[in-house]
Amino acid sequence: MPGGLRVVAGLLTVLIGAFGVAASFQVAERSDAARDVLSRSQPLSADAAAVYRSLADANTAASSGFLAGGLEPAEVRERYDRDIATASRKLVTAAAATDGPADSAAEIEELSRLLPVYTARIEAARANNRQGLPLGGAWLRNANDLMQEEMLPAAERLYQAEKERLRTDYATAQGFPWVAVGLGVLTVGALGGVQHALYRRTNRRFNVGLLGATAACGVLLVWVTAGHTLASAGLSDSYERGVRSLNVLNDARISALKARGGENLTLVARGAVTIPAGQKFAGQDSYDVAYRAEMARLLGPEGDGRSGGLLGQALELADDPAGGGRRGRGAAARPLRRAGPPPPDPDARP
């Protein structure tokens, strides 16, 4: 009997130790993930969205200034300069803070390399435009092609990578600690079973040591379960009421900026850039097709901003009257131009 008790005591000690280690490890893992959401992945996701928005807005401002003719309005130039400065600053911040996938670092490096090339082409377009030379339009189209074909795709990949990292951190922080809870239930059950066996053999109703260990393990089990449940509920609420809505609004703003840029360049190019034969929408103005694709993505297939589309999603996610009203007014907007065929499928490639 004493030998058997020593074996049982040893097994209980191992089981209690395993429960404590598992609880400590899994609680720390979820705590670190929640801390990363707050201090790293969410700010980086916001910075990546700011880079994307700033680049799209800078491109729109550049084309708007070009349409003004001669010397562009001061407010348009200030908007362009502010967007370029914001993109540069956010790229530096993201480069210093990111420790995620190597792809994100590569996108940041690519954008840092291309940004001065883009601004140089815009300045060449401005210089020629101020002199009344038609070469300015060619420089602007060249800068826009660089932005649309290389810079914005790189910024979007960076944005999507950081959004995915944010979702991963949320998922990690909200993951249920099955190992710790399972070991806790097993430990409490084993302690209760041993006490019952001792009671049947010795008629000793309570064993102080086993009773204390059972109470301590029970309290730890309840703390791990309840603490995780409350933390997970808070994280879920912050994601559903904050992150999802912000992501949709970021995407909607970017689509609106890209549509405005396409509309401006339709006027600048005056049909000089068309889709090659053999491709979808062949012979049509490529900037006009891009404009209509972005408007379809923004307003949905019905073009009313309520039956799908990014504005429709934002309206569904709005959880306060003020925000819902503003998004509803945006969803009711109509594109300025409706000439040509209906908007193409935004996911279709020409």
- pLDDT tens readout for residues 300-316: 766 655 656 788 877 77
Strand boundaries in the chain, DSSP class E: none
Do residues 20 and 153 lie in contact, with contact meaning Cβ atoms separated by under 8 Å?
Answer: no
Mean pLDDT in residue range 319-337? 51
Residue 163 clears pLDDT 60, i.e. is over it? yes
- pLDDT, position 81: 93
Beta bridge partners of 285: 274
| C-alpha span between 18 and 175 (Å, rounded) | 20
pLDDT at residue 119, as a whole number: 94
pLDDT, greater one: 300 or 84 = 84
Predicted local distance difference test score (pLDDT) of residue 346: 40
Residue 107: exposure state from Cβ atoms within 10 A (0-12, 13-18, ≥19):
buried
Distance CA 63, CA 141 (A): 9
Judge whether 16 and 217 are in contact, CB under 8 Å. yes
DSSP string over 39-90: IIIHHHHHHHHHHHHHHHHHHHHHHHHHHH-SSPPHHHHHHHHHHHHHHHHH
Distance set, CA 305 to CA 96, 302, 327, 346 (Å) = 39, 8, 9, 14
Rounded-to-integer distance, Cα 335 and Cα 333, Å: 7
Query: For position 338, what pLDDT does the model report?
Result: 39
3-state class (DSSP) for residue 159: helix
Q: Which pLDDT score is estimated for 94?
A: 83
pLDDT of residue 300: 77
Token pair for 323: 């925000």
Cα–Cα distance between 222 and 225 in angstroms, integer? 5
Mean pLDDT of 213-219: 89
Neighbouring residues of 244: CB distance < 8 A, sequence distance ≥ 6:
317
User: Looking at the predicted structure, is the pLDDT value of residue 200 above 70?
Assistant: yes
C-alpha distances (whole Å) from 121 to each of 89, 134, 143, 154, 213 are: 20, 15, 6, 19, 73
Mean pLDDT of the chain: 79
Q: What is the pLDDT of residues 29-46, one digit of tens each?
A: 888 888 888 778 888 888
Enumerate the β-bridge partners of residue 274. 285
User: What was the pLDDT predicted at 121?
Assistant: 92
The 8-class DSSP code of residue 274 comes to B
Each residue of 257-283: pLDDT tens digit?
A: 778 777 777 776 666 667 777 777 777
Q: pLDDT digits over 86-105, tens only?
A: 999 999 888 877 765 567 88
> How far is the C-alpha of 92 from the C-alpha of 326, rounded, in Å?
33
The greatest distance separating any two alpha carbons of the chain, rounded to the nearest whole angstrom, comes to: 105
How long, in residues, is the chain? 350
Return the number of other C-beta atoms located less than 10 Å from residue 160's C-beta: 15
Q: How far is CA 321 from the centre of its chain?
A: 25
C-alpha separations of 160 from 90, 163, 186 in Å: 16, 5, 42
Q: What percent of the chain has pLDDT over 70?
A: 82
125 token code pair: 């377009």
* 244 vs 193 pLDDT, higher one: 193
83 CB-near residues (< 8 Å, 6+ apart): 54, 55, 57, 58, 61
